[in-house]
Amino acid sequence: MNTTGKKTPGSGRQKGTPNKATAEIRALAQMNAPAAIEELVRLSTEAENETTRVAAIRELLDRGYGKAQAGIDLNVASGEPTLVEILTDLGKYEADLERDEAAGTEGDRL
């Protein structure tokens, strides 16, 4: 950098040139990946702590299939009722049955 605090044109790593430190770390990690995967498999089945087993399983699945999508689309475009609508209708139906039973008219519904 020059005295104005700005980067001197042409200085620094050229665009597209890999960072050597990052490349070395990546190469080292890739060399040890098979052993790391083996350890995750071992932990997923043998760890005494359930949290550790779940974390190991999640890591294996994330690497094998990619991370799960963060969101769930709750918009239903198929025209089918949603679970909330079904449960609401069921609650109304049960309330109607209870009211009919109390009035002695429960057979009229069928």
Q: What is the pLDDT of residue 38?
A: 94
* pLDDT tens-place values along the chain, 110 residues long: 556 777 777 777 777 777 778 888 888 888 999 999 999 999 999 999 999 999 999 999 888 888 877 665 666 566 777 777 788 888 888 888 888 888 877 555 44
Q: What is the pLDDT of residue 78?
A: 67
Q: What is the pLDDT of residue 76?
A: 56
Q: What is the pLDDT of residue 91?
A: 82
Residue 70's φ and ψ, nearest 5 degrees, are -70, -35
**How many Å apart are CA 52 and CA 59, to the nearest integer?**
11
Tokens of 100: 């009919």
Is-contact 40 59, C-beta < 8 A? yes
